[in-house]
Amino acid sequence: MLRAPFGGSTRKVFGEFSFGRNSHWIRLFSAIFALMTAVEIIGLTVTLLVMLIGLAGSVVPVLPGPPLVLIAALGHRLWFGQHSASGLVLILLAVLTIATLALDYFASAYGAKRFGATWRGLLGAFVGGLVGLFFSIPGIILGPFVGALLFELMGGYEFGKASRAGLGATLGVFVGVIVKCVLSVVMIVLFTVSVVLKS
């Protein structure tokens, strides 16, 4: 059993609490933490918090998404060495990051092309998404469409054609967001499981 750097073991810290007989998940996490040092627990927690910011970045345009998840995993590996994720998992995370960025691009491009949107529609959807963040859920949903519509209108499209193009650009953006969210969660789970198994 690994020892905590403060003297004694983390098993003593987490094993003193009684969560009830039916709290299976809590007991499971307590057992996992009992095998890790305090520094390892803190390091994993901080890394997961950064990864959650990366997950949020899959939705919020101004934040990096999957690349931040990968960077957090690499930082954890540099700090903790053999007690971090395995080299194979890090390679998988890098592949998933590249795949996520590629799928996001092609989803946006296909949605735009399928409905006749131009680069202006995609740019408008991005800008509209940023502005929509200040207007809660309705803004997040409608912002990309309104932005794409306005940018296509400014580019010379008639309203009907601009609406169709705006819808295509918006659908492409939303598909890209879904892809990034799903693959980001997969990356976080792979990293966490690998770290726990090597602790």
Tell me the per-residue pLDDT of 92-145, one tens digit each, with 9 for 90 and over. Answer: 999 999 998 888 777 777 777 777 777 787 788 778 877 877 776 677 677 888
* Residue 5 confidence (pLDDT): 47
| Three-state secondary-structure class, residue 176 | helix
Count of helix runs (H) and strand runs (E) in the chain: 8, 0
pLDDT band at 176, cuts 50/70/90? Answer: confident
In this prediction, residues 182-187 reach a mean pLDDT of: 92
Using only C-alpha atoms, what is the Rg of the chain?
A: 22
Tell me the per-residue pLDDT of 13-41, one tens digit each, with 9 for 90 and over. Answer: 444 444 455 566 566 556 566 666 778 88
Q: What pTM was estimated for this model as a whole?
A: 0.70
* Residue 178 confidence (pLDDT): 87
Token pair belonging to 29: 């996490």
